[in-house]
Amino acid sequence: MSRTVFNQAQLEMLDLMSFVNSPEALSELKQVISDHFAHEMQAEIDRLWEEGKLTEEKVEGFRHLHERTPYK
């Protein structure tokens, strides 16, 4: 059986979980984490837009993009 080794971020999250004592607290923590990653994603999108790597044409192209795995 292999052993799981946690990195520092995972260990910090485990420590934080000791303060989660209700379903509401867990829901709130999940929302905070989700908001953090949404903020990071928006910052990256803004950076790509400002650099001209993301344009209105590319965004419009995503509407018609189909990259599903073909199943036989």
Average pLDDT of every residue of the chain: 92
The per-residue pLDDT for 55 is 96
14 — pLDDT class (breaks 50, 70, 90): very high
Rounded distance between C-alpha atoms, residue 72 and residue 70, angstroms: 7
Residue 64: band (very low, low, confident or very high) from pLDDT cuts 50, 70, 90: confident
Predicted confidence at residue 46, as pLDDT, reads 98
User: What is the rounded distance in angstroms from the CA atom of residue 29 to the CA atom of residue 19?
Assistant: 10
- The residue-averaged pLDDT of 23-38 equals 95
Residue in this structure with the two tokens 């803004």, named with its chain if needed:
46
Q: Is the pLDDT of residue 4 over 80?
A: yes
Is pLDDT above 90 for 28? yes
